[in-house]
């Protein structure tokens, strides 16, 4: 212990020295490697990550209705960064800069309702390349590059409304992102047939993970809630809480059983290849019919309004969580193979267990030791249960499959184990995302934080070790081993993130790495400048009232952590320019007079002096 602290304190001094040099004088300094979290504590895991120490896992949190993604260190639960996705970000200029506007597309709404962040896979485990996230509010899916932690592509999914459940294909690699459109809608949705329920349907969607274009859509009966991929690469499976195809709450709750629908991906791909599809409206996306009786799908009846759906890390089973039934339904993938091969009579023959766990089961996570951890929304508990024993019990043996129930505070939705959505589930941590926090934190008015609770599951008993408040309903998170994520320290000049801006500068004959130039092109003015702490390349910009001005700045600093910014006073303009990055923003100079611009990122002892004037002539 003493030895470890010594290492930590030495490294902290190095760190402070390095920071001091960078912020004070702009001199490069080598940063010593930080001590990392490692040790176990008696009777469980150590959650204390000391100053200067690094966490063992990255946590990727949905930002819920904020439309962003948050990155936390686990087990400390320190918030490391926020990644703007569907939202406007005043710090980075996401939603305002030309680079991010190209990603968001024209007239993009700047709100989102994110639920499901999921990293890309290779061979059944995370590969650290991308993180994907849905936007239920505006029917979109975004991709984040994990090397720079920036959103790099967004796709609007056509012909459907409200992308909710979303999972990447796990095997052999993430070729597709599977995502559910939750709400049934009339087709065509042009006002011609709004009341005729027989014209309503929704679709399951697959997005090509590289091009981020929709690869195909499959029409289903009922609606679609959550989705999951298997570990063979053959199947995706979605829950349906509205087999009744009702519009009101009462209607959707009528049936004792709804279903999960399984999509046979090789068969769907073959149908697309054989051109056995239609298209809808202006969209060119292949649309296939997967309603009951189709060879592309299988409908497995499960009780009642199922919600979460989670594959076990051994690749054998998938568990549908009952929500309005106290049970979860365990489906065996090998039996699904048999059903599609015509070897089983009933769809229910793929069910191998239906353990009763408690009230309101929503989502299940795994420890890699054969146990499931299911959130019980109504009971405010986590039920730990053994999968093999649940199967034995279903087969008539007298065994108790419940291992433990732990109270959580309060009303949990998703839960996630460390690496638990991969074949490398390591059974150390369980994160439980509770919807209500009531008395757990200092009160902050009527809108309460969520409560993300960290539970040590390394031993036989679950132990609650940390409460973490989170703003605006995260829904879901992922816990990823830190060695999988490899980030860049500074940008490289040929990064595709700003390649279009670089190409535009080239057309203007500008060398971004050295030129400070103003180019007039009719009523358009393009301003190119560099930044090196504590200077902008231009201290004066002269334009005329009504000009459309594009300011493009290239940060020539090469020191890690020396980010500059560009804020134009009284114009609502601000953007991030990190080391070796090029950022640009376009605005109309509609106010005659002098307007100061300044660097809003503390970069140097003379950071306050890093500023200039925009002269707008009347």
Q: Are 230 and 237 in contact (CB under 8 A)?
A: yes
Select the residue interacting with ligand K7E from 70, 94, 116, 416 (CB under 6 A): 116
Shortest approach of ligand CUA to residue 560 CB, angstroms? 15
# chain residues binding ligand K7E, by CB under 6 A: 12
Residue 308 half-sphere exposure toward CB, CA atoms < 13 A: 28
Closest to 376 in 3D by CA, of 305, 328, 426, 304:
328
Q: What DSSP line would sit under 217-272, residue for residue?
A: EEEESS----EEE-SSSSEEEEEES-TT--SSHHHHT--SEEEEEEEEHHHHHHHH
Contacts (CB under 6 A) with ligand K7E, residues 188-247: 226
Residue 572 half-sphere exposure toward CB, CA atoms < 13 A: 11
118 makes contact with ligand K7E (CB under 6 A)? no
The one of ligand CUA, ligand K7E, none whose footprint includes residue 226, by CB under 5 to 8 A per kind, is ligand K7E
The continuous run of DSSP H or E covering 530 comes out as: strand 524-532
Which tokens sit at 20? 């001091």
140 makes contact with ligand K7E (CB under 6 A)? no
- Kindly tell me which of 66 and 531 has the beta carbon lying closer to ligand K7E: 66
323 makes contact with ligand CUA (CB under 6 A)? no
Provide the edge-to-edge strand list for the sheet that holds 57-62. Answer: 79-84, 68-74, 57-62, 477-481
Contact track, ligand CUA, 525-544, x by CB under 6 A? --------xx----------
- Binding piece for ligand CUA, criterion CB under 6 A, among 293-301, 323-331, 411-419, 599-607: 599-607
599 makes contact with ligand CUA (CB under 6 A)? yes
177 makes contact with ligand K7E (CB under 6 A)? no
# chain residues binding ligand CUA, by CB under 6 A: 9
Which tokens sit at 344? 């089983």
Shortest approach of ligand K7E to residue 180 CB, angstroms? 10
Select the residue interacting with ligand K7E from 115, 129, 175, 604 (CB under 6 A): 115
Contacts (CB under 6 A) with ligand K7E, residues 269-308: 307-308
- Binding piece for ligand CUA, criterion CB under 6 A, among 122-130, 324-332, 477-485, 603-611: 603-611
475 makes contact with ligand K7E (CB under 6 A)? yes
> In three state form, how does the secondary structure of 172-190 look?
CECCEEEEEEEECEECCCC
- Kindly tell me which of 365 and 533 has the beta carbon lying closer to ligand CUA: 533
Backbone angles phi, psi at 282, to 5 degrees: -80, -10
Which regions of 284-428 does DSSP assign to beta strands (E)?
Answer: 287-289, 297-303, 309-311, 317-321, 328-332, 351-353, 361-366, 371-376, 381-386, 402-407, 412-417
The one of ligand CUA, ligand K7E, none whose footprint includes residue 602, by CB under 5 to 8 A per kind, is ligand CUA
Select the residue interacting with ligand CUA from 601, 612, 614, 616 (CB under 6 A): 601
559 makes contact with ligand CUA (CB under 6 A)? no
Select the residue interacting with ligand K7E from 93, 158, 413, 468 (CB under 6 A): 413
Shortest approach of ligand CUA to residue 585 CB, angstroms? 16
- Kindly tell me which of 394 and 436 has the beta carbon lying closer to ligand K7E: 436
Q: Which residues contact 34 (CB under 8 A, 6 or more apart)?
A: 11, 15, 52, 53, 54
Q: What is the DSSP letter of 95?
A: T
414 makes contact with ligand K7E (CB under 6 A)? yes
Compute the C-alpha angle 45/47/48, nearest 5°: 130
- Kindly tell me which of 15 and 602 has the beta carbon lying closer to ligand CUA: 602
Q: Are 385 and 403 in contact (CB under 8 A)?
A: yes
Shortest approach of ligand CUA to residue 599 CB, angstroms? 3
199, burial (CB in 10 Å: exposed 0-12, middle 13-18, buried 19+)? middle
The one of ligand K7E, ligand CUA, none whose footprint includes residue 94, by CB under 5 to 8 A per kind, is none
Binding site for ligand CUA (CB under 6 A): 533-534, 564, 599, 601-603, 607, 610
Binding site for ligand K7E (CB under 6 A): 115-116, 164, 226, 307-308, 362-363, 413-414, 475-476
């Amino acid at each position: 212990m003493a030895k470890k602290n010594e290492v930590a304190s030495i490294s902290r001094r190095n760190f402070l020295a390095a920071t001091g040099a960078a912020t004070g004088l702009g001199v490069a300094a080598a940063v010593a490697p930080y001590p990392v979290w490692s040790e176990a504590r008696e009777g469980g895991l150590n959650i204390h990550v000391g100053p200067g120490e690094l966490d063992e896992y990255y946590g990727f949190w949905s930002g819920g209705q904020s439309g962003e993604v948050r990155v936390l260190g686990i087990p400390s639960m320190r918030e490391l960064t926020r990644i703007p996705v569907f939202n406007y970000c005043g710090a980075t200029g996401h939603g305002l800069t030309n680079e991010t506007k190209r990603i968001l597309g024209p007239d993009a709404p700047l709100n989102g309702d994110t639920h499901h962040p999921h990293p890309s896979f290779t061979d059944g485990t995370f590969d650290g390349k991308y993180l994907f996230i849905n936007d239920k509010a505006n029917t979109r899916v975004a991709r984040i590059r994990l090397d720079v932690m920036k959103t790099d592509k967004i796709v609007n999914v056509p012909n459907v409304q409200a992308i909710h459940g979303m999972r990447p294909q796990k095997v052999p690699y993430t070729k597709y992102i599977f995502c559910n459109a939750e709400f049934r809608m009339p087709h065509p949705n042009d006002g011609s047939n709004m009341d005729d329920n027989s014209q309503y349907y929704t679709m399951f969607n697959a997005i090509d993970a590289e091009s981020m274009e929709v690869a195909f859509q499959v029409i289903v009966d009922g609606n679609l809630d959550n989705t999951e991929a298997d570990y063979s690469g053959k199947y995706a499976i979605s829950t349906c809480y509205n087999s009744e195809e009702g519009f009101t709450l009462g209607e959707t709750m009528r049936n004792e059983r709804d279903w999960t629908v399984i999509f046979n991906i090789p068969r769907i791909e073959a149908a697309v290849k054989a051109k056995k599809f239609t298209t809808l409206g202006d969209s060119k996306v292949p649309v296939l019919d997967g309603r009951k009786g189709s060879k592309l799908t299988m409908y497995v009846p499960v009780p009642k309004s199922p919600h979460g759906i989670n594959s076990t890390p051994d690749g054998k089973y998938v568990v549908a969580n009952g929500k309005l039934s106290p049970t979860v339904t365990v489906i065996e993938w090998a039996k699904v193979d048999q059903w599609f091969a015509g070897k089983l009579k009933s769809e229910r023959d793929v069910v191998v267990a239906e353990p009763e766990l408690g009230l309101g089961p929503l989502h299940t996570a795994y420890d890699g030791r054969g146990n499931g951890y299911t959130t019980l929304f109504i009971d405010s508990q986590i039920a730990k249960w053994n999968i093999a024993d649940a199967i034995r019990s279903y087969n008539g043996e007298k065994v108790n499959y419940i291992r433990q129930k732990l109270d959580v505070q309060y009303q949990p939705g998703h839960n996630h184990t460390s690496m638990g959505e991969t074949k490398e589930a390591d059974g150390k941590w369980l994160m439980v995302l509770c919807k209500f926090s009531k008395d757990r934190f200092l009160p902050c008015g009527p809108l309460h934080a969520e409560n993300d609770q960290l539970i040590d599951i390394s031993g036989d008993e679950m132990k609650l070790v940390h409460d973490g408040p989170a703003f605006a309903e995260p829904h879901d998170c992922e816990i990823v081993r830190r060695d999988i994520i490899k980030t860049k320290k500074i940008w490289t000049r040929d990064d595709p993130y700003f390649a279009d801006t670089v190409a535009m500068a080239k057309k203007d004959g500008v060398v971004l790495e050295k030129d400070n130039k103003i180019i007039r092109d009719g009523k358009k003015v393009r301003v190119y400048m560099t930044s090196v702490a504590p200077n902008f390349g231009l201290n004066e910009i002269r334009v005329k009232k009504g000009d459309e001005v594009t300011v493009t700045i290239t940060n020539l600093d090469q020191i890690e952590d020396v980010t500059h910014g560009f804020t134009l006073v009284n114009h609502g303009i601000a953007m991030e320019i990190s080391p070796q990055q090029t950022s640009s923003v376009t605005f109309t100079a509609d106010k005659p007079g002098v307007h100061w611009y300044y660097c809003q990122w503390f970069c140097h002892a003379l950071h306050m002096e890093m500023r200039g004037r925009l002269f707008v002539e009347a």
